[in-house]
Structure 1
Amino acid sequence: MKIDSMIASVAEATQMPRKDVKKVVTALFDSIKKAVEAGEKVNVPGLGVFQQRERAAGERVNPKTGETVSVAAARFTVLKPSRSVLGLPKRQKAAGAKGAAAG
């Protein structure tokens, strides 16, 4: 789904004008982006958790040529999907788990 179809869907569901929905959706995504870039985890219930991860610099070997290539460190954003997005059942809390751990 592209942003335009998402905006149309929300506008239809809420009976709000598209231009107002576009402002809200844009502001929502901007706030998620800023929070993740600041190093915060952003938890969206029913969707998942957005967070930044880092990959250390290192070297990799090209399997075709055998040449060693330097790979720079990188930061990237990931989404860890919620169990409901993956189609998994909710986790059940273990009965008495708190008491068993303390005893």
Structure 2
Amino acid sequence: MSTHPRAELNPDFANPLRFSLMALLVKVERMPFKEARAFLDTSDSQLSKHASALADAGYVKIHKSFIGKTPVTAYSATSAGVKAWEAHLDALRSIVEGG
């Protein structure tokens, strides 16, 4: 007995902002916080909250550094994040294709 492909969807990507953040991060080596916030058209607190949730799941790495005395944050997808993202997209494709 097979299960419907929706069972393969990753619940960590169900939130639209998390989905959008992962879609962004898998395409770049590293994304500065300010650029991600602007691209995703979201607030500082929302981006921080959802990036932290993805980091807790092991899908995003949060890079903290300083330029002079100014703190700088950037994000990148982890290899586990890329793998989970690709599996999520495969499940979506299966659903769309009638699997």
TM-score bracket for the superposition, by shorter chain length: under 0.3
Structure that is richer in helix per residue: 2
TM-score (norm: length of structure 2) = 0.24
Structure that is richer in strand per residue: 1
TM-score (norm: length of structure 1) = 0.23
